[in-house]
Amino acid sequence: MGEVYVIVATDKNRRLYSGEAPIIPENQRLEVIKSLKNVKEARLGRSDNDTLTTVEEINPDIILLGPDQKYNGKTLKLGLEEKGLNKIIVKRLDTYYDKYELHSSSLIKKKIISQNNKKLKQ
């Protein structure tokens, strides 16, 4: 594995693309990602949402998009080509890391709601 850089979605973009605010604030999510052993650098997404500028700054070999990330890979690849960054490989991860039952914030929220509903019915 080479050097790993992670761009953490801002709370604003999380609301914009998912329709709801995140449970964990952006600074806390950023701190968690920064603490991962293989992450060389993690940063918040840009306030102007200019992803291509961030990519230019980092100049990666590969960009991995999460399976539920609302970013169009083809649009990203075209933007990279326009900036002369056409050697960067863009891939979308097909699967979630699902080793554990609660592997996403939406599953955590559903479980909390379910448990609270059970308590209310008692």
Q: Which amino acid is at 43?
A: R
Residue 1 is predicted with a pLDDT of: 61
Residue 55 CB: number of other CB atoms within 10 A?
20
Residue 7 to residue 42: CA distance in whole angstroms: 6
CB 89 within 8 A of CB 63: yes
Instruction: Give the Cα-Cα-Cα angle 46, 88, 44 (nearest 5 degrees).
Output: 20
* Torsion of Cα atoms, 39 then 41 then 46 then 47, to 10°: 90
Instruction: Report pTM.
Output: 0.77
Domains of the chain: 4-96 (3.40.50.620)
Question: pLDDT per position in the chain (122 positions), as tens?
Answer: 678 999 999 999 888 888 888 888 999 999 999 999 999 999 999 988 888 999 999 999 999 988 878 788 899 999 999 999 989 999 998 887 778 888 877 888 899 999 999 888 87
